[in-house]
A and B are shown apart, each in its own frame.
Chain A
Amino acid sequence: MKITPSKLTLLAVCSATLFVAGCAKDKSKDVTQAPKVTIQSNPYPSTYKPIEGQPTLITNVTILDGIGNKIDNGSIYFADGQVQAIAQSGQTLDVAVNTVIIDGSGKWVTPGIIDNHSHLGVYPSPSTHSHSDGNEMTNPVTAQVWAEHSVWPQDPGFGRALAGGVTSLQILPGSANLFGGRSVVLKNVPNRTMQDMKFPDAPYGMKMACGENPKRVYGQKGGPMTRMGNVAGYRQAWSDAQDYMRKWELYEKEYEAGKNPKAPKRDLKLETLAGALNGDIRVHMHCYRADEMTVMMDVMKEFDYQIGTFHHAVEAYKIADKLKENNVCSAMWADWWGFKMEAYDGIRENIPAVHAAGACAIVHSDSDLGIQRLNQEAAKAWSDGLRAGIDIPMEDVWTWLSANPAKSLGIFDKTGSLEKGKQADIVLWNGNPFSTYTKAEHVYIDGGLAYSLTDEMSWPVSDFELGQVGEGDKK
């Protein structure tokens, strides 16, 4: 059956209401209707509470606001968990009487780093088999699993990432499966439970994977064993999801008409896929090769959904124009390459080339070590671009670390830049953050001081590390 775009849009609108409890109008008619079946969209709600902060003013500091502006010798004031004001030198600011004033001379302020590709908590340290909770390698389509049900908040990696200025991060399932399951976005304040860290009101994401991994994992386990098998797998799954959406649409329609239809049985796998088709759930797709990404953008059009971000995207530079045209972000490493065939064509100028083409570029880690130095990854990519004649101003480069990943995750209305009213997710660096030698001196999350370089007692220590050698990097 061919589905026209207009019909699909209709479907999408109908099903969007499916996931909002209590939205159905009870138009009771002659028939006695059973209570309408609705699906709770947020069954594992966030219990995150920010660390209590004090109104803070940092003066005489170099500010990169994360949306293309650099302010030399500026000031930033934040209070009540939000950015209140950014001022140029010479301007005056009204601040609360109990404001902590920090002289930022020689220092820099940026938005907190957002890593949209992390496996902290699902592949934690120590990396024992018992902790390996990131890949549900039992079927190529496991859209029904949610990474948040695997996250171990005692992973010491969260605290180490915090010391690198990471204030929010997306935890993704691994890339073994065509559809790996849902992701979760966290605020990087390590705590007792996943819910304590869960980013309030962040949309869900869903992991998909191209290429070598699914075919390697399932090649001898019933398939797919080829890239064409992969694509057939995506298409069949999307088709199943459309069918599922039609069933719910019919239920809705009949219920609205006053009938007493039987609700379709919930299918957790198809529910997530439907959420991706209707745009509630953002699609994050692990994909290296230019030709495969391009095929996937056609699959995207065929089934009328939006791929939010290609992850790794080692060959994004080859098709940066197409990525721009299709409004798909690329989350990339600065220089990883060659560890497998589909990573063989990595170049150092990938990130700046994507940016220069007007497409959305993101620096990601996919690594518990890399996440600690994402500013250095951006610095390398930036300077490699400059040497190749791709001249990107430093103030635009920070979009790779905060604003663009925030957009990719659907949280840019809340964080990812230093603008009045945004969450005060802020890093004070002890120098130019595009340097090997610079470190995060203070990391604020929602205005609370989550890390201070010079105060060891401010460093989070996971339960796992407590009472062990090192105890969170102590001598």
Chain B
Amino acid sequence: MKKLAVVLASLTLATSALANNYAIVGGKVHTMGSKGTIENGTVLIKDGRIESVLANGTAPQGYEVINAAGKVVTPGFIGALTSLGLVEVSSSSGVVDSSIEKTPISNTGAALDVQYAINPDSSLLAITRLEGMTSAATAINSSHYLFGGLGAIISLSGQSPVLKSAAFMTIDVGSEGAENAGGSRAALWVMLDKVLQEAENASSTLSAEKPWYGLNTRSDVDALKRVLKGEVPLFMRADRAADILQVISFKDRHPNIKVVLVHGVEAWRVADQLAKASIPVVIDPEYNLPGGFDQMGATLSNAARLHDAGVQVAIGMDTHNIRLAAQHAGNAVANGLPHQAGLEALTSIPAGIFGVDNDIGILKPGSFADIVIWSGDPLEVTEAAETVFVGGEPIEMESRQTKLRDRYLSLRKEGNNKPSQYQRSE
């Protein structure tokens, strides 16, 4: 044990010794914090964190200068709800830790914990981060349990991925949740209340010697106690207005629980109540079709109407293409969401929901230097991330997708007769 500690310490030292100081100058800086947007800003980066964000500043000595004139600077975007790191190829093959069958450790799903399942070498991380997304919430997306278990906040750096474990718990209280609970919401909500009541009343450390006949396993109880205390936000997925009203009354019954509404296709219909109950939402603002009878009110105006009512809106629900969250936010803006709220939906709001808003989703002294320099408006489909800092260092703008691209572009060059698999870049 002692030996391990020594090794870790020296690694940390080595990293900080390598770190450079950077000054990003001349860009339009969206701080997403109290300084608002600075037209000609200077962001100083030191030892992996932001040192300062100044207007019209110049770079001091000893900082590598990065010219962002004519560019836009934002905090790295946050994937609000993904399965990044848990899945390589969704259907059939490869590593899939994003879905789960039965396990003896859990009866209600609450105990499942994805922090142990993250693969930092997943190709999705590099593919996603070079498009300006530097961290993400990741969770199991398919289980037949009541709960989907504990999700984590991960960095997309490709190293030590978990920024915050047990960052949230998920549950579906819509049609799919009802299906898992035996086919009816009439069972689902009774089950949920009983399961929570049991966890609340169970002694804080259930003895292994004494028998336990609960609806939850012992591990489920441990996890749910953290939800009940408000340490772990509860992500409740529901679409139809009636179900969302149940979520709001659930919040009334359990004022300590930090409730977040997920997907919320008809959330706009009860926007005032959501605002009053301080329930933020995570949505896909492009979802505008009545895919079922619980989604009849689907509209492209969902995000705008929620925002207008004072609800905090986070945007970004996907995995392989969570990199398109910026386009989703752009389309929310095209349908009435203010541009600033579109940016917040990708940064400060998800950071706030997960309680990591001192570290990510904001450019302020002391926060992580996860910073993106964009060619222009990040919500515009024709613009792109040009330079991405994760943890204070610019990343290699490379993924297996860019390598595939480069291989086959070079194959087309005149006189290049090498077989494709010998096309390698230096």
Contact status A347-B405, CB under 8 Å: yes
Among B85-93, B147-155, B216-224, B273-281, which stretch is in contact with chain A? B85-93
Contact status A128-B381, CB under 8 Å: no
Set A128, A369, A379: member contacting B382, Cβ < 8 A? A379
Contact status A470-B92, CB under 8 Å: no
* A372 neighbours in B (Cβ, 8 Å): 286, 288
Cα–Cα distance between A157 and B293 once the two chains are bound (Å)? 15
Among A40-48, A177-185, A407-415, A431-439, which stretch is in contact with chain B? A431-439
* B297 neighbours in A (Cβ, 8 Å): 469-470
Q: Taking A317-B405, A341-B89 as contacts, is the C-beta distance between A435 and B289 under 8 angstroms?
A: no
Q: Give chain B's interface secondary structure class.
A: loop
Instruction: Judge if B251 is at the interface, Cβ distance under 8 Å.
Output: no
* A469 neighbours in B (Cβ, 8 Å): 241, 266, 269, 296-297
* B124 neighbours in A (Cβ, 8 Å): 338
Set A436, A464, A468, A473: member contacting B288, Cβ < 8 A? A473
Q: Taking A335-B321, A338-B90, A436-B334 as contacts, is the C-beta distance between A318 and B408 under 8 angstroms?
A: yes
Instruction: Judge if B211 is at the interface, Cβ distance under 8 Å.
Output: no
Q: Taking A321-B412, A470-B297 as contacts, is the C-beta distance between A388 and B405 under 8 angstroms?
A: yes
Chain B residue nearest in CB terms to A335: B321
Contact status A436-B89, CB under 8 Å: no
* B327 neighbours in A (Cβ, 8 Å): 376, 380, 436
Chain B residue nearest in CB terms to A343: B89
Cα–Cα distance between A407 and B270 once the two chains are bound (Å)? 47
* A475 neighbours in B (Cβ, 8 Å): 299, 301, 305
Chain B residue nearest in CB terms to A470: B297
Instruction: Judge if B291 is at the interface, Cβ distance under 8 Å.
Output: yes
Residue from B88, B289, B333 having most chain A Cβ neighbours under 10 A: B289
Instruction: Judge if B390 is at the interface, Cβ distance under 8 Å.
Output: no
Tell me the chain B residues, 296-348 only, with Cβ under 8 Å from chain A: 296-301, 305, 320-321, 323-324, 327, 330-331, 333-334
* A369 neighbours in B (Cβ, 8 Å): 286-289
Cα–Cα distance between A172 and B320 once the two chains are bound (Å)? 26
* A346 neighbours in B (Cβ, 8 Å): 401
Instruction: Judge if A424 is at the interface, Cβ distance under 8 Å.
Output: no
Tell me the chain A residues, 431-475 only, with Cβ under 8 Å from chain B: 434-439, 464-465, 468-470, 473, 475
Cα–Cα distance between A118 and B298 once the two chains are bound (Å)? 20
Instruction: Judge if B292 is at the interface, Cβ distance under 8 Å.
Output: yes
* A336 neighbours in B (Cβ, 8 Å): 320-321
Set A337, A353, A434, A465: member contacting B408, Cβ < 8 A? A353
Instruction: Judge if A115 is at the interface, Cβ distance under 8 Å.
Output: no
Contact status A212-B404, CB under 8 Å: no
Instruction: Judge if A264 is at the interface, Cβ distance under 8 Å.
Output: no
Instruction: Judge if A216 is at the interface, Cβ distance under 8 Å.
Output: yes
Contact status B334-A337, CB under 8 Å: no
Chain A residue nearest in CB terms to B420: A318
Contact status B320-A338, CB under 8 Å: yes
Set B296, B301, B379, B382: member contacting A383, Cβ < 8 A? B382
Q: How far is the CB of A21 from chain B (nearest CB, A)?
A: 41
Q: How far is the CB of A152 from chain B (nearest CB, A)?
A: 13
B interface size (C-beta, 8 A) = 50
Instruction: Judge if A311 is at the interface, Cβ distance under 8 Å.
Output: no
Contact status B290-A353, CB under 8 Å: no
Instruction: Judge if B409 is at the interface, Cβ distance under 8 Å.
Output: yes
* A436 neighbours in B (Cβ, 8 Å): 327, 330-331, 333-334, 379-381
Set B289, B305, B330: member contacting A125, Cβ < 8 A? B289
Contact status A464-B290, CB under 8 Å: yes
Tell me the chain B residues, 409-423 only, with Cβ under 8 Å from chain A: 409, 412, 420
Contact status A439-B296, CB under 8 Å: no
Contact status B288-A160, CB under 8 Å: yes
Chain A residue nearest in CB terms to B266: A469
Cα–Cα distance between A156 and B321 once the two chains are bound (Å)? 25
Instruction: Judge if A419 is at the interface, Cβ distance under 8 Å.
Output: no
* A5 neighbours in B (Cβ, 8 Å): none
Q: How far is the CB of A319 from chain B (nearest CB, A)?
A: 9
* B182 neighbours in A (Cβ, 8 Å): none
* A373 neighbours in B (Cβ, 8 Å): 286, 331
Instruction: Judge if B62 is at the interface, Cβ distance under 8 Å.
Output: no
Set A321, A340, A376: member contacting B381, Cβ < 8 A? A376
* A468 neighbours in B (Cβ, 8 Å): 290, 296
Chain B residue nearest in CB terms to A387: B384
Q: How far is the CB of B130 from chain A (nearest CB, A)?
A: 11
* B404 neighbours in A (Cβ, 8 Å): 345, 347
Q: Taking A353-B409, A465-B296, A473-B299 as contacts, is the C-beta distance between A434 and B382 under 8 angstroms?
A: yes
Instruction: Judge if B94 is at the interface, Cβ distance under 8 Å.
Output: yes
Instruction: Judge if A349 is at the interface, Cβ distance under 8 Å.
Output: yes
Contact status A344-B382, CB under 8 Å: no
Q: How far is the CB of A398 from chain B (nearest CB, A)?
A: 15
Q: How far is the CB of A220 from chain B (nearest CB, A)?
A: 14
Contact status A470-B384, CB under 8 Å: no
Tell me the chain A residues, 255-275 only, with Cβ under 8 Å from chain B: none
Set A339, A434, A438: member contacting B320, Cβ < 8 A? A339
Cα–Cα distance between A382 and B323 once the two chains are bound (Å)? 17
Q: Taking A318-B408, A470-B298, A470-B299 as contacts, is the C-beta distance between A380 and B292 under 8 angstroms?
A: no
Cα–Cα distance between A220 and B192 once the two chains are bound (Å)? 39
Tell me the chain A residues, 149-171 only, with Cβ under 8 Å from chain B: 156-157, 160
Instruction: Judge if A348 is at the interface, Cβ distance under 8 Å.
Output: yes
Q: How far is the CB of B87 from chain A (nearest CB, A)?
A: 9
Q: How far is the CB of B303 from chain A (nearest CB, A)?
A: 14
* A357 neighbours in B (Cβ, 8 Å): 412
Q: How far is the CB of A27 from chain B (nearest CB, A)?
A: 57
Instruction: Judge if A91 is at the interface, Cβ distance under 8 Å.
Output: no
Q: How far is the CB of A28 from chain B (nearest CB, A)?
A: 59
* A127 neighbours in B (Cβ, 8 Å): 291-292
Set B88, B289, B380, B401: member contacting A160, Cβ < 8 A? B289
Contact status A388-B289, CB under 8 Å: no
* A321 neighbours in B (Cβ, 8 Å): 412
Interface residues of B (CB under 8 A from A): 88-94, 124, 241, 266, 269, 286-293, 295-301, 305, 320-321, 323-324, 327, 330-331, 333-334, 379-384, 401-402, 404-405, 408-409, 412, 420
Closest 9 pairs (CB-CB, A-B)? A436-B330, A383-B382, A470-B297, A338-B320, A469-B296, A469-B297, A125-B289, A340-B91, A437-B334
Question: Given known contacts A379-B382, A383-B383, A384-B384, what 11 new A-B pairs fall within 8 Å (CB)?
Answer: A126-B295, A320-B412, A337-B320, A338-B88, A338-B90, A357-B412, A369-B286, A388-B405, A436-B381, A473-B298, A473-B300
Can you list 18 A-B contacts (CB < 8 A)? A128-B292, A160-B289, A337-B401, A341-B89, A341-B94, A348-B401, A373-B331, A379-B381, A379-B382, A380-B327, A380-B381, A383-B383, A436-B330, A436-B379, A436-B381, A464-B290, A470-B296, A470-B299
